[in-house]
Structures are given as structure tokens and as C-alpha cells.
């Protein structure tokens, strides 16, 4: 079992990213497939992977790898999707 969280600051699925797709412990092969860049934001003590793609593009790529959306919620202006792959 594998669960992956996908975060975006976008208010709508059609908006362009950035879309956060992982943290420093994420699968590097998956991050490469998504075209993600690893960064450390000033003041944060952790690294994150992000892409400039819209969330719908990232979700389509993850679906092609066997992931499916299990849940989605909004936290302020941030949208969070939880995906599952067996």
C-alpha cells in the first residue's frame, strides 16, 4: 500500500501550479516522472518537490501510474488530494 498527498495553492483545478508533489522522502523515480524540482523554502526545515503543472495534469500523470484519488479537502486556499496505489 502506498498513499501520496498532493498539495496546491490553486483555487480551481484549471489554474496553473505550483503543485507540491512530495517531500524529501518521496520516491525519486516518481518525482522524476512528474518532472518535479526539489526545493527548500526559506524558513522551512524540510525539502519539498514541486511542479509548475496544474493539479489536473499531475493527477492525470499519477493515474497513468496506477494511483487513484481516495479523498480531497480544502485547507484555506490549499487543496489536498490523497492518492492510493496498491
- Percent of the chain exceeding pLDDT 90 equals 41
**Confidence label for 51 from pLDDT (cuts 50, 70 and 90):** very high
- Which pLDDT score, from 0 to 100, does residue 1 have? 41
With beta carbons less than 8 A apart as the criterion, state whether 44 and 86 touch: no
Find all residues with CB under 8 Å of 65, minimum gap 6, and list them. 30, 33, 85
Q: Span 2-30, mean pLDDT? A: 71
Q: Which CATH class is domain 19-85?
A: alpha beta
Amino acid at each position: 500500500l502506498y498513499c501520496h498527498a498532493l498539495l496546491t495553492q490553486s483555487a480551481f483545478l484549471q489554474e496553473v501550479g505550483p503543485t507540491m508533489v512530495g517531500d524529501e522522502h518521496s520516491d525519486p523515480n516518481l518525482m522524476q516522472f512528474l518532472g518535479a524540482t526539489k526545493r527548500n523554502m526559506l524558513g522551512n526545515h524540510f525539502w519539498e518537490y514541486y511542479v509548475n503543472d496544474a493539479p489536473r495534469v499531475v493527477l492525470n500523470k499519477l493515474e497513468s501510474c496506477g494511483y487513484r484519488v481516495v479523498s480531497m479537502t480544502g485547507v484555506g486556499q490549499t487543496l489536498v488530494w490523497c492518492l492510493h496505489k496498491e
